[in-house]
Amino acid sequence: MEIPSKKKVLILCTGNSARSQTAEGLVNHYFAEELEAHSAGTDPQGLNHYAAHVMAELGIDISKATPKHVSNFAGQVFDYVITLCDDANTNCPIFPGAGKRLHMGFRDPARATGGEDQILAVFRDVRDEILCRISKYFRKELKPNGKKA
């Protein structure tokens, strides 16, 4: 009996430093049986330490994640290509063979201001929003027997 392969997901954002790294970690943690997520950016920056911090609160370690440019994935086939910011949505290259291309816009937590507690609160909110929307989407999308909810 052949074991079905995981569906591949590419998650894109501008800097690949917070939102997309967070989403990649969440998908690979909560949907490890069904999905294999990767993330990249249109203008990659260093990993945001607040993103790593709030993910560690959930027991998910993204501290060694390295931002990658979207061109690193050129020529690969993905079942889902998901953009998380308007810039990536506008500037995302075409991925031939992509099963579904989706845009799920989220505010940029890296723009949060205030003290560390206020900044962490914004990162937690965005992390939780990403988890909620992505989980809701993939629970419906991956329903057994191909039936949609």
**Catalytic center residues:** 13, 85, 92
Q: Which two tokens stand for residue 138?
A: 């993939």
Q: Which among 20, 18, 23 is positioned nearest to 109, based on CA atoms?
A: 18
Measure the N-to-C terminal CA separation of the chain; round to a whole number of Å: 28
Give me the sign of the Cα torsion angle 106, 24, 136, 55. negative
DSSP state of 78: -
A 10 A CB-CB count for 29 gives 16
